[in-house]
Structure 1
Amino acid sequence: MLTPSQQLLIALDSLDAAFAPLSESPISVGGCTYCYTDAELGTLAGPAHRVPDDLVFSVATEVPDHWHDFAALYRRLTPRIVRLLATGRLHADHGMVASRLLAAGYRDWTPPERQALERVWDAWWRSALHEYPGTDRAVEVLETVSVCTGSLSPWLAVWAETRSGAAERHFEDALDHWLAERGLADLRLGFYGELLAGPELVTWLLSLEEGRIGAAQLFEVERIAYS
């Protein structure tokens, strides 16, 4: 049986294949010539697999108005961006990457592209829950996948049923993180706060079986929920 990390790598390879017709065909790339040289713009216009990691990072995090056609550029580099992010090699704000994908119109891409991305989200989330400390904190992966898909519910359901030692330690860390947040009930995820997560998150925490949350922390969750 394949491990969750192996399933993630397979999903990432499938993502490459789904985007291959787009990402390997040369295009015209225009952008801010103050920030990017003609050589860098030329590299971005060529096959995506030849773009160096540092330039992929720039595209992943740069503001959209730095590119003449941000949506097209981000779309063709998405497999590179997502692979680096999901394997812990893109040291960027996870919420920002999710927000950039939304800005690039990810939900309106072709079904094969969307489905390949959704398989990566699922495999990445399950892989994260089975590794501790792993390459990413669970709250970071959760933010990415929930903002991209527009819902916390399916991801929280997977977490509730995953009772590995790694998943439990991630949960303990996440609970500490959430309770340290001011205004948990109004918590928003995404770089621009696209997803209102607080109400759904608080409801989920209260629905967990007895003993999953310690008495002191449960008291705080209930205080937030009913205040």
Structure 2
Amino acid sequence: MMHLADHPARRRLNAALGNLAVTFRGMTAHPDEHNCECHWGSAEELSILKTPDVELEPDLLRRTWQAADWTDHAAVLRRILPQFAQALVAGRAEPLFGLEEAGSSFARGRWQQWPDHCAGSVREFLHAWWEDSLTDPDAVVPAHQVFAMCVEASGSVRPWLAVWEKQTGYLSDRRLAEAAAEWEYELLGDSLPWNVGWYEHDEEEIRAELVAWLLGHAAVRLRESGASADLQHRIRLLEFTDEDRWTDQHWPGHRY
């Protein structure tokens, strides 16, 4: 059996995590950064964010990335990013509702506008983690959660769907069936299966692109990989709207 660290995608992910640690070493929050002691944390905890390379306690890390009211969120995100990424990969991020909340933290930091070497390190981490979730049998976080996080972090489904199209092995197909089963209820109710938290992201556009992909590329793969007929029918119903959808003989009886 292949050891965890020997899996190609895991090697790529470990390298990406190491690169984050190097790229963001020495980063701190802005010297004038502040937050509410009642709702976020103490002055002593705030001082830690202004001190480079000191590890945060797990609860402090969680409160820091979840807070949406930093004056300079980008600087705070860069300060915590190496440890934050490790927590994400290990399934220890502890979002309140879904992992897309972590993606919103990335989006608030506008990481794509950072200097090339910084943005490139973040981009490689996201892609490495996404590939690992599709191909590593020992991946900790379910692929559909990683997908939602990456979409929310980047504002687009296209790069992540493109990776999925290239990963055509048994495990990636299984991850596709698992994701489709997780998503079909909300999608058949014309909603996205996760919450879009960043105001610049177009939720309806994201949903439409995901549905189009599920009806096209994904439908073929589900059929060829032997997904259940019931799941295939539920995805097929996304093609229809209103009465045509819920009067179909294969309508699952969802209530919204």
The interval holding the TM-score normalised by the smaller chain is 0.7 to 0.9
RMSD after superposition: 2.5
1:51 Cα deviation after fit: 2.5
Partners in 1 of 2:118 and 2:207 — Cα distance?
A: 30
Aligned length: 224
Residue among 168, 185, 194 paired with 1:163: 168
1:59 Cα deviation after fit: 0.5
Partners in 1 of 2:216 and 2:146 — Cα distance?
A: 22
TM-score normalized with structure 1 length: 0.85
Partners in 1 of 2:10 and 2:202 — Cα distance?
A: 27
Task: Tell me the equivalent position of 1:152.
Answer: 157
> Could you give the per-residue CA deviations for residues 100-145 of structure 1, whole angstroms, max 9, x where no partner exists?
2212222221111111011011110111112346311111100111
Task: Tell me the equivalent position of 1:198.
Answer: 207
Residue among 49, 70, 77 paired with 1:74: 77
* Runs of at least 5 residues in structure 2 that lack an aligned partner in the other structure: 1-5, 242-256
Q: Percent identity?
A: 23
* Runs of at least 5 residues in structure 1 that lack an aligned partner in the other structure: none
More helix by share: 1
Alignment check: 8 A CA contact 1:95 1:143 kept: yes
Partners in 1 of 2:152 and 2:169 — Cα distance?
A: 25
Alignment check: 8 A CA contact 1:30 1:69 kept: no
Partners in 1 of 2:32 and 2:83 — Cα distance?
A: 19
What amino acid does structure 2 have at the position aligned with 1:135? V
Task: Tell me the equivalent position of 1:219.
Answer: 233
What amino acid does structure 2 have at the position aligned with 1:200? E
Computing the radius of gyration over CA atoms, which structure comes out larger, 1 or 2? 2
Mean CA deviation greater in 99-108 or 191-200: 191-200
2:34 matches 1:30: yes
Alignment check: 8 A CA contact 2:30 2:75 kept: no
Residue among 57, 62, 65 paired with 1:60: 65
Partners in 2 of 1:2 and 1:178 — Cα distance?
A: 28
